[in-house]
Structure 1
């Protein structure tokens, strides 16, 4: 996948805005799809199959475009590390969604832009945080703390119905914590891609590393943990799995990389705050999940922090 010169990258036009909104909606729906598929497929098996299908699709895509994925370019070590981190992220997401709601997961996992900004500040030259970004990180983390406090006070209304009281609350908190850890691993993956030899690799090869390594890791975990038994498979579960593999892991990620080759990344990243909004909306409307006023305030603080972190810098003469 060729990359135009940096000078040719431009501010998002109407096409880019429409595509970005569609991508954010697709990513926001992912938690709902995972929840639906969990009824038939164990979490690690589901995650591994998702990555495996997307890996094959990316391979066919690159073959059709004449792009080689296996030439030597000193990216193997960084690629393996990115793949392990990417796989770890989905271990957290898929396990977490068995403990907490899709609504809460959508907020916690998308604290990733704040962790990414911190990581780039420490490890990538020229990515120093500005004061408004430090403010955004502080606001987002305060919102995250408030959301955790809400979980302690109100428990998780959507946790397994046979568990009551303190046990139910602790399950929900554990799921929330896995969401935050998933966001941290997502951010670490981004930093590895930006700070290593992967920064000069094609987008399709970078994606292939993440999908292929995570597929091996997740399927190995599924067999190691005995998560290979498939329950009664419903059409909704199959459609949810296909959606994750084809729409999210293959089409949406390649589309995102395509946008990055043509438009300014700083302007595109501003749209990231839409994803948890879609995630919360889908969780409430499609899964009937509920949240308190305290959690709504916490989510608004996290979204505000994300928006501040991604606020473009003022251009100077």
Structure 2
């Protein structure tokens, strides 16, 4: 398929489905933590993703070769990837999907702030500044809301750290030689580096196996195949097909879907402050990613 100059119906449906897919993954992580220690599960996910990606790249004839000058940035992005998912899996062990998702999906906020200072062509505009204020207000509201008995400050901080690591990965790709590396190799860097780091961390930071049931194994396989490998490749494909700003504008849907799914599937008690925080973060992300129409 040739690259599109604008978003069409197929792209819109695919991006809505992908946002729902990512939101459902938060629920799956929560489920999976019932059978595996969270850091160990994250390590197994990266290990399995290495295998799936190797098979996919071999079948598609995709080379593993990358420019030598991109290797340090690739290792750094993989280290951030390990920290991101160590924190996210642990956050979902401490707190609800709804709270963790509102905070975790604030990533575009931190990326916009960092990009303003290090990328001259990506300065703040009035519209993006308004979105930044809205989104940061939503994150602050979520962090300060202690009315929910399931709220965990440790979980909130871990989710925020995970969002910052995610933003760091995106910025690393933008400003280092890694931006010349094809998406499949970028993803391979992240899972290859993160797998041993997470498995080593699991030996120090937590348990390996809990009350393991078939549903937990199924959840882990879903994360390996449908999210950590083929899911992210589908995301990169959509980025290659449609304008980046149009693709990014759909990112506000993921926290919305995650809160709804946590409420529907896990019977989470989502209080009015969480709904308000969700609205502020989603609206802020939309404004940050929105680009003025050309006249």
Q: Same fold (TM over 0.5)?
A: yes
- Contact between 1:123 and 1:191, CA under 8 Å: does it hold in 2? no
- Hey, which bits of structure 1, 4+ residues long, moved more than 6 A? none
Aligned length: 295
1:100, 1:156 within 8 Å by CA — same for their partners in 2? no
Q: Which residue of 2 aligns with 1:87?
A: 82
Deviations 1:231-283 (A, max 9, x none): 33212111111111111111210001111111101001110011011100110
Matched, 1:306 2:291: no
Residue 211 of structure 2: which of 232, 255, 280 is its match? 232
Instruction: Describe the SS at the equivalent of 1:208.
Output: helix
* Correspondence for 1:274: 253
Contact 1:121 1:127 in 2 (8 A): yes
For the residues of structure 2 that align with 1:108 and 1:266, how far apart are their CA atoms?
A: 22
Q: State the partner residue of 1:205.
A: 185
Select between 56-65 and 252-261 the one with higher mean Cα deviation: 56-65
**CA gap 1:294/1:232 in 2 versus in 1, 3 angstroms:** closer
Partner of 1:12: 7
The reply on whether 1:100 has 2:95 as its aligned counterpart is: yes
| Distance change in 2, residues 1:220/1:120 (3 Å) | same
Deviations 1:69-93 (A, max 9, x none): 1344421100000001111111110
**Shift in Å, 1:19:** 1.0
Using the alignment, how far apart are the partners of 1:59 and 1:9 within structure 2?
Answer: 29
Distance 2:250 2:206 in 1: 39
Deviates more, 1:268-277 or 1:8-17: 8-17
Asked if structure 1 preserves the Cα contact closer than 8 Å seen for 2:67 and 2:181, the reply is: no
Which of 103, 106, 115 is matched with 1:111 structurally? 106
| 1:85-134 CA distance string (max 9 Å, x none) | 11111111011111110111111100001111112222223111211101
Shift of 1:138: 0.9
Structure whose residues are more often helix by fraction: 2
Verify: 1:137 aligned to 2:132, yes or no.
yes
With structure 2 as the length reference, what TM-score do the two structures score?
A: 0.96
* 1:180 aligned to which of 156, 160, 175: 160
Aligned CA RMSD, in angstroms, stands at 1.6
Unmatched tracts of structure 2, length 5 or more: none
Q: What is the SS of the residue equivalent to 2:120? A: coil
